[in-house]
Amino acid sequence: MSFYRERLPEGGLRSLDEVGSLPFTTKEDFRANYPFGLFAVPREEVVRLHMSSGTTGRPVVTGYTRHDLELWAECMVRVMEYAGVTSRDVVQNAYGYGLFTGGMGLHLGAEAVGATVVPTSSGVTQRQVMLMRDLGTTVLCCTPSYALVLAEALRGLEGREGVRLRVGIFGAEPWSDGLRGQIQTHLGLEAFDIYGLTELGGPGVAAECSRHEGLHIFEDHFYAEVVDPDTGTPLQEGRPGELVLTSLRREASPVLRYRTRDRTVLTSEPCACGSPYRRFLRVQGRTDDMLVVRGENVFPSQFEELLAGFAGFNGQYILVVDRQAHSLDTLEVRLEADTADEQRLEQEIRDRIRDSIGLTVTAKVLRPGVLPRSEGKAKRVVDHREAVGTP
Ligand code: DLL
């Protein structure tokens, strides 16, 4: 319970401007203090835990007091309101329920606005599609990559006949406007982006309004900064960098200046929707997911955006990075597409990527259905370079 007491100045802070002078909190701090070391209330006051495991290391744990759950619900209601969800809606929640914050978080908001919640959790795709039709689902909540899987399943089963979807609330992983277009067309809904992370209590840190021009940060709950990822120096608005978040009201697991590793841009330009909250632009990706290929820094979402412009591409792709001993990095874009002329499409994709991203790559067109599908967060990068070592 003393972690932040030692980091805060005597007498506390007088204004939000002083937050920028505090030390950062990192994922390593969470791991080193696993499970309860960062909690600020006695364990008896904690009524809920959530966590994320990641691929390596100890899980990241976050706790909620009863009041924290009310605050979370307040943020999630706002997400629903931004997307126009009301008590007239049937919300099918296909985010995973359990330790992951997505399922329970979206559930909280949908129930609080009085919608009829169908807690399907993720997976069992055929049943999702059946329930969507039978129950007249109007709002779908899941990761964008799972939305794509559901769209595919729907096409295989009598198409959109009898489907009443109108809104999708998609997040928990980076996605491009190109993918948004595909999902909207195939599912016949308006897609809203929602952002959050376990360390700050889950979804409901920021969300899109109906303008879809960035995500409004719920600044009465969270204080946002963007810093230079290399030096940690705060950047002016409009400059891309790493998002750093401070919780302002959480009791059990308060967080000061958390280095999210997510890359975005802050803006205080007023939004036509009238929301008082500043926005950040769509999160491009995590610093850890940024690929450095032959010295070029690229995010998978940049490839996704380009690929979405090609007819026949169904949204499924992976990037395979490799390095032959003592030679340069190679990047192959493997994608599924329905086309009569694969070689021509591969050539067009190579050219487009070279012209827009400035990277020479190879492209491999695969038959639809070959790549693994994701029920949660998709894995878009396969990097074989670690095994070879640096040249
Ligand atoms: O993904 C919480 C969440 C659940 C958000 C449901 C939205 C909807 P974690 O598993 O801890 O928590 O992962 C957090 O996912 O740091 C980002 O890298 C990424 N992420 C989350 N939302 C978005 C988004 C949940 N809208 C990590 N766009 C974050 C891009 C996102 N990346």
Question: Rounded to the nearest whole angstrom, what is the distance from the C-alpha of residue 338 to the centroid of ligand 1?
Answer: 31
Mutate to test the pocket of ligand 1, among 75, 140, 262 (most ligand atoms within 8 A of CB): 262
Comparing 8 with 271, which gets the higher pLDDT? 271
- As a dihedral over the C-alpha atoms of residue 91, residue 93, residue 99, residue 104, rounded to 10 degrees, the angle is 0
Q: How far is CA 21 from CA 8, 16, 27, 119, 257, in A?
A: 10, 10, 19, 43, 10
Per DSSP, what are the bridge partners of residue 335?
317, 365
Average pLDDT for the chain? 94
CA-nearest residue for atom 29, ligand 1, is 197
Please tell me if the CB atom of residue 241 comes closer than 6 angstroms to any atom of ligand 1: no
CA-nearest residue for atom 30, ligand 1, is 174
Question: Rounded to the nearest whole angstrom, what is the distance from the C-alpha of residue 173 to the centroid of ligand 1?
Answer: 5
Mutate to test the pocket of ligand 1, among 283, 284, 299 (most ligand atoms within 8 A of CB): 283
| pLDDT tops 80 at residue 52 | yes
Question: Rounded to the nearest whole angstrom, what is the distance from the C-alpha of residue 198 to the centroid of ligand 1?
Answer: 8
- When mean pLDDT is compared across 22-36, 51-65, 211-225, 306-320, the lowest value belongs to 51-65
The atom number, within ligand 1, closest to the CA of 261 reads 16
* Rounded mean pLDDT, 143-163: 90
Question: Rounded to the nearest whole angstrom, what is the distance from the C-alpha of residue 47 to the centroid of ligand 1?
Answer: 23
Q: 10 Å Cβ neighbour count for 58?
A: 14
Burial class (CB in 10 A: 0-12, 13-18, 19+), 55: exposed
Please tell me if the CB atom of residue 172 comes closer than 6 angstroms to any atom of ligand 1: yes
The atom number, within ligand 1, closest to the CA of 260 reads 16
pLDDT tens, position by position, 181-199 = 999 999 999 999 999 999 9
Q: What is the pLDDT of residue 55?
A: 62
Closest by Cα among 143, 175, 172, 147 to 300: 175
| pLDDT tops 50 at residue 246 | yes
Question: Rounded to the nearest whole angstrom, what is the distance from the C-alpha of residue 109 to the centroid of ligand 1?
Answer: 17
* Rounded mean pLDDT, 302-306: 95
* Rounded mean pLDDT, 232-247: 97
Q: Determine contact, residues 152/165, Cβ cutoff 8 Å.
A: no
The atom number, within ligand 1, closest to the CA of 100 reads 10
Q: Determine contact, residues 173/180, Cβ cutoff 8 Å.
A: no
CATH 3.30.300.30 residue ranges of the chain are 291-388
Q: What is the pLDDT of residue 6?
A: 87
Question: Rounded to the nearest whole angstrom, what is the distance from the C-alpha of residue 27 to the centroid of ligand 1?
Answer: 14
Please tell me if the CB atom of residue 196 comes closer than 6 angstroms to any atom of ligand 1: yes
| pLDDT tops 90 at residue 161 | no
Domain 62-280 -> CATH class: alpha beta
Q: Determine contact, residues 125/92, Cβ cutoff 8 Å.
A: no
* Rounded mean pLDDT, 51-74: 91
Determine what percent of the chain is predicted with pLDDT higher than 90.
86
CATH 3.40.50.12780 residue ranges of the chain are 62-280
Comparing 3 with 250, which gets the higher pLDDT? 250
Comparing 44 with 391, which gets the higher pLDDT? 44
CATH of domain 291-388: 3.30.300.30
The atom number, within ligand 1, closest to the CA of 194 reads 26
Amino acid 137 reads: T
The pLDDT confidence band at residue 160, using thresholds 50, 70 and 90, is: confident
Question: Rounded to the nearest whole angstrom, what is the distance from the C-alpha of residue 69 to the centroid of ligand 1?
Answer: 19
Q: Which residues of 169-179 are buried (b: 16+ CB within 10 A; e: fewer)?
A: bbbbbbbbebb
pLDDT tens, position by position, 335-370 = 999 999 999 999 999 999 999 999 999 999 999 999
74 SS3 class = helix
Q: What is the pLDDT of residue 156?
A: 79
Which tokens go with 307? 């690929």
Question: Rounded to the nearest whole angstrom, what is the distance from the C-alpha of residue 286 to the centroid of ligand 1?
Answer: 10
| pLDDT tops 60 at residue 388 | no
